[in-house]
Copies of this chain bind each other. A is one copy, B any other.
Amino acid sequence: MRYPVEETAAKHERIVKEASRLFRERGFVNVSVAEVMKAAGLTHGAFYAHFGSKEELQAAAVAYGQEVSLGRLQRSRRKKSKGSFTDAYLSPWHRDNPGDGCTMAALAQEVARSTPELKVAFEQGLENMLSAEGGDRKEAIFRAAAMMGGVVLARAVQDPRLSEEILKSVRQKLD
């Protein structure tokens, strides 16, 4: 069927959105194209009418996820005190909900092993966030590394007390 233009665009966006969530939750390799399409309410065959390959979807999902994070950072900077974004980032909630969290903290290592296209999407997002932070660029880079590293470590350990300790330590040291 030839579907209405807006509907198609909406479906396209829904695919990217669901892919972004699923990829952040379980990683690129552990999520199949069919699963993404099912989450978007479609069957797997329709996928290649929207994207040329799974890798193309990965790049789109990374770009989307980075934009969402950028929006959150900008909103946080406009409204509240500077610490609130850092605290939210290094919170147990963010640690326990990667699907709704930072793309970098969820997929950076897989991006590192992937194609230049994916790295560019990742890098673009990082650059935008560094610009949004403003102030000293070195400081912004350092904070980004520490925050991301803190969440990644907190997610990778088994003991909940150690996990909390990691989050709290990074939060305190970044004040």
A residues near B (Cβ < 8 Å) are 26-27, 29-30, 98, 104-113, 116, 119-120, 122-123, 126-127, 137-139, 141-142, 144-150, 152-153, 155-159, 162, 165-166, 169-170, 172-173
Which residues in B have their C-beta under 8 angstroms from that of A29?
Answer: 27, 29-30
Instruction: Give A111 to B108 CA distance when docked, in angstroms.
Output: 13
Apart from A105-B109, A109-B156, list 12 A-B contacts with CB within 8 A: A29-B30, A104-B153, A104-B156, A108-B156, A122-B158, A123-B157, A137-B169, A138-B172, A141-B169, A145-B166, A146-B146, A149-B150
Q: How far is the CB of A147 from chain B (nearest CB, A)?
A: 7
Which residues in B have their C-beta under 8 angstroms from that of A122?
Answer: 156-158
Query: Which 5 residue pairs are nearest across A and B when measured between Cβ atoms?
Result: A149-B149, A145-B149, A112-B155, A119-B158, A142-B173
Query: Can you spell out 30 A-B residue pairs with CB atoms less than 8 angstroms apart?
Result: A26-B113, A27-B109, A27-B110, A29-B30, A30-B113, A108-B109, A108-B153, A108-B156, A109-B152, A109-B155, A112-B156, A116-B158, A119-B157, A119-B158, A122-B157, A122-B158, A123-B156, A123-B159, A123-B162, A138-B169, A141-B153, A141-B165, A141-B166, A142-B150, A144-B149, A145-B152, A145-B153, A145-B166, A145-B169, A149-B149
